[in-house]
A and B are shown apart, each in its own frame.
Chain A
Amino acid sequence: MMANMAKAINMALHEEMARDERVVVLGEDVGRKGGVFLITEGLYERFGPERVIDTPINEGGILGFALGMAMAGLKPVAEIQFVDFIWMGADELLNHISKLRYRSGGEYKAPVVVRTPVGSGVKSGLYHSQSPEAIFVHTAGLVVVMPSTPYNAKGLLKAAIRGEDPVVFLEPKILYRAPREDVPEEDYVVEIGKARIAREGDDVTIVTYGAMVHRALEAAEKTKASVEVVDLQTLNPMDIDTVLKSVSKTGRLIVIHDSPKTGGLGAEVAATVAEKAVDKLVAPVVRLAGPDLPQSPVAHDAVYAPTVERVLKAIDRVMAY
């Protein structure tokens, strides 16, 4: 069926809850309201309040409660209403969910899926537009996923729910309503840990993820250069092989993300390519990222994330070599 990302994620939740009664959903307003973005719509009516739990406003409570559920053998899918609010639960996520398996010598597992909207572009200010994926990637023990299309959102979320590692599932909120595409109603998963070639090309590799995949694709249509777009899909563990293979072919690398440049994931991609394939590069690496601002200011939200124009400029820059 034709679906946007919100619907695709909703489909994944419906299907996984129907498939496995260990799957429960919890978070603020996820029950009767169906979530502020309606991602959990219909779950409460179908699966009841024991499995679709409206929680108090306490992110540490939500994540810690989910951790306990996971230790006991359930598969909690916790929604943090906006990633910007996750910091109240940072201790639970960064100190406990991520480290449980390790600190218990493998005796306990924490298969908690934390779904949360991220990203700029919807004029939502400092506390509804953060994209702190780099912090999660920097925390060993967490799998970090960011879908870019309705199709991979559904498949990746289903894979996350079925896995035994904790997954931070970052949903670019700007993609919730559009674009739409055909999303199979049948069961399928998209493998975690694998990047996808969103577009093939020979001259320039753009490595990106989430909403920026669409910026890259739009720019690729507008330039004469032949652009290959690598959609990471999983940010940790990162599919370095796919990145290296593409860069080895094109010799040019642009990395794009909708989050601060300094210490961002672009640095990680660039450094890894420098370590493992610097001899394949014919041009300097370009990092296109958000500025190092506290977060996207409402007045200038349209230029916080790299624009198509900036992507085109970057392509011109690397093509000059």
Chain B
Amino acid sequence: MLETSLEIPRQYITEVREPRVFRVLNDDGSPGEAYEVGYKPAESELLNAHRWMVLGRVLDKLALLYHRMGKVKSTYGPHEGHEAADAGTALALKPDDWIAPYYRNLTLLIARGVPLEVIWAKFFAKMGDPDKGRNLTIEWGGFKKWRLLSIGAPIGHQYIYAAGFAYALKYMKREEVVAAYIGDGGTSTNGFHAGLNFAGLYKVPVTFFVYNNQYAISVPVNRQTAVGRLAVKAAAYGMEGVSADGMDLLAVVKTAKWAVERARRREPVLVEYVTYRFGPHTTSDDPLTRYRDPREAEEWRRRDPVSLLERFLTWSGIYKGGEIKSVWEEAEQAVKEAAKAAEAQPDVPIDEAVKDVYSFVPRSLSEWLEDL
């Protein structure tokens, strides 16, 4: 009797509906019904995306190898599994739009036109590194030339500065938008919640992408948050959320286009891409001995984003035979040549270390340099 007396009628209680995950491609590469929905990428866009994704995959693998050989100077974090989400969201952006990246966005950099040699120079901490050899491999500090905003390792803050950057764009009456990226673990951070709150409040031209790759280092997403679909987190900030299959380039492009055009109308939204981190968190991590069943990756491999796209390109007749092989061969060659060129670059001289702390070199740093 006591229990019934505590009941409050349903209409006074919030209702949050977890959305279905938007998917276009079937496992065999044929498109499902959703193919007709929203934006339809041109053939040239699909070919570009495939090329970027293969480059990303090849670069990732070689970076891991070069890390083992000691050539890559600091910890490396592979992004295998994120290629379609990177390429698809890149396709939705205009060249003068801005990106607040997170660290596992390698294909995104390639799609933005960052030369492979610049990326290698960063991994090798050589002179061609825009960050002057100051950061870890995948902390994108100074890629402003390609309109990438800057990140450091503490995750989440790119969401709040992206909102501030977008506010400034709106204030200056500019047309660009900001696309901000984060992982599933990042959705627990203050930066994530502050970013959504400020963006929703001030209606700024930003769009929020979450890569739900199932793991934050070792912690699975169901130990990170009580909600099943991360897209529902948008609701608390007065914005809409979408979940899409991040392994499926077509699903990514369609939802990203929708999101970016919303952002251009100053309606921020949150898009969750459901994907998988095939590799370790970083080269300092070993999932298989500690926290992951190898059969799980095999299951996700059925929707490996690169092969899924290749199956679609074949199914649709865009590729007739042989093209896939040559894309891979060209990528292998380009990545290796770029690595060779970057290796030949000079090291960063020590006097660079004291620059850019301030607009001036403070006395204590000049004294340190003299004392070395």
Contact = CB atoms under 8 A, between A and B. Distances in A.
9 contacts: A58-B190, A61-B198, A65-B194, A69-B165, A91-B154, A96-B161, A103-B142, A108-B149, A237-B363
B359 A163 contact: yes
B28 to A, nearest CB: 43
Nearest to B206: A68
B129 interface: yes
B119 interface: no
A68 B162 contact: yes
Nearest to B355: A106
B171 interface: yes
Given A24-B171, A60-B191, A101-B359, 5 more contacts: A56-B194, A91-B191, A95-B157, A103-B135, A164-B359
A74 B166 CA distance: 11
B144 A104 contact: yes
B141 A104 contact: yes
A8 interface: no
Contacts of A99: 152
A100 B197 contact: no
B81 interface: no
A103 B122 CA distance: 12
B24 interface: no
Contacts of A70: 164
A96 B157 contact: yes
Contacts of A264: none
B356 interface: yes
Contacts of A95: 152, 154, 157
Contacts of B139: 103
Nearest to A102: B356
B165 A91 contact: no
Contact of B356 (A24, A67, A68, A105): A105
Interface in A276-314: none
Given A61-B197, A99-B152, A50 B171 contact: yes
Contact of B129 (A64, A88, A105): A105
A65 B132 contact: no
Contacts of B167: 65, 68-69
A53 B165 CA distance: 15
Contacts of A50: 171
Contacts of A69: 164-165, 167-168
Contacts of B363: 237, 240
B195 interface: yes
A105 B358 contact: no
Interface in B102-137: 129-132, 134-135
A104 B146 CA distance: 13
Contacts of B247: none
Contacts of A191: none
Interface of B: 129-132, 134-135, 139, 141-145, 149-150, 152, 154, 157, 160-169, 171-172, 190-191, 194-195, 197-198, 201-202, 355-359, 362-364
Interface in A67-95: 67-74, 76, 88, 91-92, 95
B164 A66 contact: yes
A165 interface: yes
What are the 3 tightest A-B residue pairs by CB atom distance, in nearest-first order?
A68-B164, A64-B160, A72-B168
Nearest to A100: B150
B160 A68 contact: yes
Nearest to A60: B190
A107 B142 contact: yes
A88 to B, nearest CB: 7
Nearest to A111: B359
A102 B131 CA distance: 8
Nearest to B145: A107
B131 A103 contact: yes
Contacts of A226: none
Contacts of B359: 101, 109, 163-165
A101 B168 contact: no
Contact of B144 (A64, A107, A141): A107
A142 to B, nearest CB: 9
Contact of A65 (B164, B190, B362): B164
B329 to A, nearest CB: 34
A37 B168 CA distance: 27
B277 to A, nearest CB: 24
Which of A61, A66, A100 has the most CB atoms of chain B within a 10 A radius of its CB?
A: A61
Nearest to A74: B168
Which of B134, B154, B359 has the most CB atoms of chain A within a 10 A radius of its CB?
A: B359
A140 interface: yes
A74 to B, nearest CB: 5
A103 B194 contact: no
A13 interface: no
A64 B165 CA distance: 10
A124 interface: no
A204 interface: no
Given A64-B157, A65-B198, A96 B168 contact: no
B150 A64 contact: no
A55 interface: yes
B197 A56 contact: yes
B152 A103 contact: yes
Contacts of B197: 56, 58, 61
A40 to B, nearest CB: 18
Given A67-B161, A99-B152, A106 B356 contact: yes
Interface in A36-61: 50-51, 53, 55-56, 58, 60-61
Nearest to A72: B168
B174 to A, nearest CB: 9
Contacts of B152: 95-96, 99, 103
Nearest to B202: A53
B351 to A, nearest CB: 13
B142 A108 contact: yes
A130 B194 CA distance: 25
B141 A65 contact: no
Which of A61, A105, A106, A143 has the most CB atoms of chain B within a 10 A radius of its CB?
A: A105
A100 B151 CA distance: 8
